[in-house]
Amino acid sequence: MSKSKVFLCCCEDVTLQEFRDAFTEGFTELESLKRYTGVGTGFCQGKGCLSEAAGELAALRDIPPCDVRLTNIRPPAEPLTFAQLATLDVPDPLDDPGSDT
Amino acid sequence: MIPLSSGPIPATADAVIIGGGVNGLTTARELAREGLKNIVILEKNYIGSGSTGRCGGGIRQQWTTEENIRLAQESVAMYENMSAELGYQVFFRQGGYLMITESEDDLPALRDAVALQNRCDVPTEFLQPGECLKLVPDLDVSHLKGATFCPKDGTAYPFAVVWGYARACHRAGVKIFIRSQVTGISADDGRIRTVHTDRGDIATERVINCAGPWARSIAAMVGVQLPNKQERHEIMVSESLKPFLDPMVISITNGIYFSQSMRGEIVGGIGDPSEPGLNGPSHFDTRSQLRFAVRFAKALLRYYPRAGQVRMMRQWAGMYDVTPDHRPILGGVPGLDGYYHICGFSGHGFMLGPVTGRKMARYISTGQPDDIITSLSLDRFEKGDLKPDAFVVG
Amino acid sequence: MPSKKVRIHFEGNTLECRPGTTVAAALWENGVRHLSHSPKYGRPRGLTCARGHCTACLMRVDQIPNVRTCELTVREGMEVGRQEAGTFYAAPMQKILATGSAFFPVGFYYKWFTRPPFLSRLFLDGIRPMTGVGRLPGGGSRPLALPPVTETPASGAPTATDLGRFDTVVVGAGPSGLHAAATATGRVLILDDHRLPGGQRHGALRRLADQPDSNLTRFPVLKSLLDRIEKARNLADTRDDLTFLERTKAIAGYHPDRLVLRRDDLLQTVQFDNLVWAAGALDTLGLFPGNDTPGVIGPRALYRLLVRDGLGIEGRQVLVIGNGPDFWLSAALLDTTGAKFSLVPTGDGGGDEISAAVDLQWPLNTGLTLDGISERGEGRLQASFVAGSPGAGEVGTRLSMEADLAVICGRGKPAYDILYQLGANLKLQPDLGGFTLPLSDDPNDGEYVAVLSGGSRLVAIGEACGDLPGRHHISADGVEKP
């Protein structure tokens, strides 16, 4: 029997067992599981693990997979240097009419 | 154990706190310490999902009015002991705040601020540009005219504070309900009676509005008009690197702030002059814009060129709950017993939340407001009794 | 005339590399299989995705931290090094955490060493040097170089351009994307991170087809894949108003209608009225013991390593485990190299392909289930299998195989990040491989559609929505079934 661990998030060294333990501790949303265990917060920003983590969470909560709310995926989709960004022209602000409340 | 309550919403409570961010959680815990039982927190999303979980985590004492300095000072003292008190690590690191300026015109006010802070026993120093290099060796000081540095300022990890207080709340018997939205509040005869939620009603005599960006709409449910506006602010993190930056750096000139978190990431943001703030409608849209990333990059490289080959990982946005003097609104309102609000922190909720939560809890349980609560009450706007701070950054 | 070798410096040694290969491939050929170490347990990591979306190959190159060496072409005099743990006690601490992980519950660093305050501060001071990966760029004796580029742009220094607005932008020039671009109306831009259009499998399929006595016809599933790709390429060729951006990746999406593109170090922005997302899928290795061992890769990594990077695997042992078209394409591709390979088909189906493999006398081991993979020394893998399907309480026959590389083939995972960034509402659909757009109700739409906040329309097709490669196409008139 292989003694190796099963890694859910390889970037941050989060094993499948640790993810399940965090759920037992009371972290039941993907957003808080992500922050508490580190799943999806590494350099790859979840490409390697968020689908799997969400699937695991659905199983733990016994809900259909499509009911798991995805964490916010923030731009950019791959890291880019400040020097690269600084070469771009500053885009105009978006037209947001805002609200009264 | 993170203690989120499951099961039905209770039919009654001694206090209902609306909002599960830094303000709601610290107030609840302090109220429980004051002896109140049956406290319920209602959070419409998950704890820390609002502005608390989106902020940069900065905590400073470098303000320009004595009142602000004293308040922040008390908060820093709380942060220094917070991990021990909660039995939960909040990762408070006192790397200091280095506030820099490119303008000679700012220097007199900076010197006055330092003197005032020193009189309050806050150990800020005024620095010449070259002296900044001892603190941040790779800083490009060629544009700078002066700076101030307080070694006791620092940063903490917002979610750790949220979880630590949530656990303390749970140990004290507070019930936290997530994914529970307040739909209305009933009052009659000048008293709070019921809080209505999408999961049922709670009869209560006390409701405490800690709803951050939504405080204004919660207040409207009981006819209280808050002058708050919601301002979008964007923030980003870089890749995680070995420690190289100890202080938080803030530029008074262009509003950029950046620091290195305990995870090794540069966390930083910059205000956008195109945000209307008080002069326009509220913006609730927390989606990211390329404009921010480009503006931040250009401003960062102006002061820290060595960050040129450092990579940005992701950016996001949150809201500042902004008041006309950029100071929080505490206390209650005359003619409506049992309603309290703790809001309007204008971007400084994380740094002041613990101390204002403690003061408000004392007020709510004893009925005696202290000077700060009186000074920061809603009626100051009508009275025109405003003491705005000279430097509103970060 | 043979090309002159390129010499790079690695941790005090000079290594010779084939010109045009990547740093990660060159290191692998030189016996360096451990490229980095994980942050908490110090696990060695190495070749994994080979396409620039995981973090196993991050190294320090020419004073720049966290460089994806699988995407970096070797250059004469390059200095490459592994990123260290940060302080003298870091490696021992990592070992303690790894071996004693049962005693260190998840999140232990939130709950321990919190009192008294001086101990808490000591703890933070102690762990701080261990946090972070990679050091701030620069700091060496030479002035900091510009970031290494895979190919120096002809014009010199990188410049940024705004490409303006297109009626339709197609991300991905595989069979689905090419078909969409060929039939879309208005100004169309199509981009792909390969040098030529055709998609992730095109290079491998072409290599197979171009062999004398090619095995392609023995595997109809592969032949039909290649046919679909060529048909789509030909269709796209008939339009002379298509702009094709080669070696270009979409790296960020900003609502409502803007993409940031990258080619080497050059950034460009583009806006669209309609976006066709045909970016395909990523390798998914699955969750099994040892899933992040260096050298455990997916089929798309294999195609990249063999076709673009020319990885020298003559005489090396390669295990191919799994099922589906990628399993057979990997096997057939390996058969064109001098590698020794062994096949472990799993799951149901593939009967025709197995017969073909038997005819070709390929080493086949059926009826096995993967139990885990571990390392036997640097870069040598040991895969453990269980034979048959033992019932509860039974211990099945165990079998292990050694290899230099293990290719795990199955369903890919749609690349969805940018869809979400643009505001698409995604749902987890495990049978489609991961997060995808929900099905559209309108049969005239592509199957997976979202209308974005600014009114722009986003359609995902092909493997980018979990569909099988090249199965559906979208055209101006709607969905075209094969």
> Each residue of B185-237: pLDDT tens digit?
999 999 999 999 999 999 999 999 999 999 999 999 999 999 999 999 999 99
Q: pLDDT tens across B49-63, in order?
A: 999 999 999 999 999
B30 and B109 in a single domain? The answer is: no
B249 and B148 in a single domain? The answer is: yes
CB contact under 8 A, B159 and A36: yes
Q: Is A76 on the interface with B (CB under 8 A)?
A: yes
B146 and B233 in a single domain? The answer is: yes
**Å from B115 to nearest chain A CA?**
37
Nearest CA in chain A to C259: A76
Percent residues over pLDDT 70 in chain C: 88
CB contact under 8 A, A80 and B312: yes
Q: Does residue A79 have a cis peptide bond before it, meaning omega lies within 30 degrees of 0?
A: no
Q: Point out the least confidently predicted range of A86-95, B112-121, B289-298.
A: A86-95
B222 and B234 in a single domain? The answer is: no
Burial label, C457 (beta-carbon count in 10 A; 0-12, 13-18, 19+)? middle
pLDDT of C446 higher than 60: no
Residue C39 Rama label (left phi>0; alpha psi -120 to 50; beta): alpha
CB contact under 8 A, B290 and C135: no
Within the 11-70 window of chain A, which residues sit less than 8 Å (CB to CB) from chain B? 25-29, 31-32, 35-36, 43, 45
Structure tokens at B298: 């250009």
Half-sphere exposure of residue B36: CA atoms within 13 angstroms, side-chain side: 27
B377 and B241 in a single domain? The answer is: no
- C-alpha dist (Å) from residue C155 to B308, C20, C152, C159, C266: 21, 20, 8, 9, 12
B254 and B149 in a single domain? The answer is: yes
CB contact under 8 A, C117 and B84: yes
Strand blocks (E) in C172-229: 188-191
B264 and B342 in a single domain? The answer is: no
pLDDT of A3 higher than 70: no
Model confidence at C150, pLDDT cuts 50, 70, 90, reads: very low
Structure tokens at C210: 């171009």
B134 and B236 in a single domain? The answer is: yes
pLDDT of C158 higher than 60: no
Nearest CA in chain A to C41: A13
Report if residue B67 sits inside a domain.
no
Percent residues over pLDDT 90 in chain C: 68
**Between residues C141 and B168, the one the model is more confident about:** B168
Question: How many cross-chain Cβ pairs, A to C, lie less than 8 Å apart?
Answer: 158
Model confidence at A69, pLDDT cuts 50, 70, 90, reads: confident
pLDDT recorded at residue C138: 87
pLDDT recorded at residue B1: 55
B237 and B282 in a single domain? The answer is: yes
Q: What is the mean pLDDT of residues C458-467?
A: 76
Query: Is residue B175 within 8 Å of residue B10, measured between CB atoms?
Result: yes
Q: What is the mean pLDDT of residues C256-273?
A: 92
Q: Which helix (H) or strand (E) holds C226?
A: helix C220-237
pLDDT recorded at residue C147: 44
**Å from B301 to nearest chain C CA?**
14
Structure tokens at C449: 């559609």
Chain A residues closer than 8 Å to C101 by CB: 5, 15
Structural domains in chain C?
A: 6-81 (3.10.20.440), 88-131 (no CATH), 164-282+413-465 (3.50.50.60), 296-409 (3.50.50.60)
Buried b (16+ CB within 10 A) or exposed e, B253-280: bbbbbbbbbbbbbbbbbbbbeebebeee
pLDDT of B31 higher than 90: yes
> Three-class SS string for C50-89?
CCCCCCCCEEEECCEEEEEHHHCECCCCCEEECCCCCCCC
B138 and B174 in a single domain? The answer is: no
Report if residue B6 sits inside a domain.
no
Chain B residues closer than 8 Å to A30 by CB: none
Query: Is residue B349 within 8 Å of residue B58, measured between CB atoms?
Result: no
Q: What is the mean pLDDT of residues C372-390?
A: 89
Single residue among B304, B322, B340 that ends a domain in this structure = B322
pLDDT recorded at residue C482: 40
CB contact under 8 A, A93 and B298: no
B144 and B246 in a single domain? The answer is: yes
pLDDT recorded at residue B125: 98
Number of domains in chain B: 2
- For residue B172, what are the domain limits? 15-53+159-228+325-383
Nearest CA in chain A to C397: A1
pLDDT recorded at residue C453: 65
Report if residue B114 sits inside a domain.
yes
Structural domains in chain A?
A: 7-95 (1.10.10.1100)
Single residue among B283, B303, B322 that ends a domain in this structure = B322
pLDDT recorded at residue B285: 87
pLDDT of B67 higher than 50: yes
With 0.90 as the threshold, say if the pTM is over it.
Answer: yes
Chain C residues closer than 8 Å to A43 by CB: 55, 58, 66, 133
pLDDT of C1 higher than 80: no
Report if residue B66 sits inside a domain.
no
End-to-end distance of chain C based on CA atoms, in angstroms? 46
**Å from A33 to nearest chain B CA?**
11
Instruction: Please state the φ and ψ torsions of residue C213, each to the nearest 5 degrees.
Output: 55, 50
Helix axes C325-335, C351-359, angle to 10 degrees: 10
Unique residue bearing structure tokens 């885009």: A91
CATH number of the domain encompassing residue B38: 3.50.50.60
Q: Point out the least confidently predicted range of B93-102, B171-180, B252-261, C468-477.
A: C468-477
CB contact under 8 A, B239 and C258: no
Chain C contact partners (≥3 CB pairs within 8 A) = A, B
B332 and B304 in a single domain? The answer is: no
Strand blocks (E) in chain B: 12-13, 15-18, 39-42, 58-59, 97-101, 125-127, 146-150, 154-155, 175-177, 182-188, 191-197, 200-204, 207-209, 229-240, 248-251, 257-260, 265-269, 311-322, 332-333, 336-341
Model confidence at B110, pLDDT cuts 50, 70, 90, reads: very high
Chain A contact partners (≥3 CB pairs within 8 A) = B, C
CATH number of the domain encompassing residue B108: 3.30.9.10
pLDDT recorded at residue C441: 58
Q: Is B241 on the interface with C (CB under 8 A)?
A: yes
Cα(B30)–Cα(B9) distance, integer angstroms = 22
Report if residue B165 sits inside a domain.
yes
Percent residues over pLDDT 90 in chain B: 91
pLDDT of B303 higher than 90: yes
Q: pLDDT tens across C200-251, in order?
A: 999 999 999 999 989 899 999 999 999 999 999 999 999 888 999 999 999 9
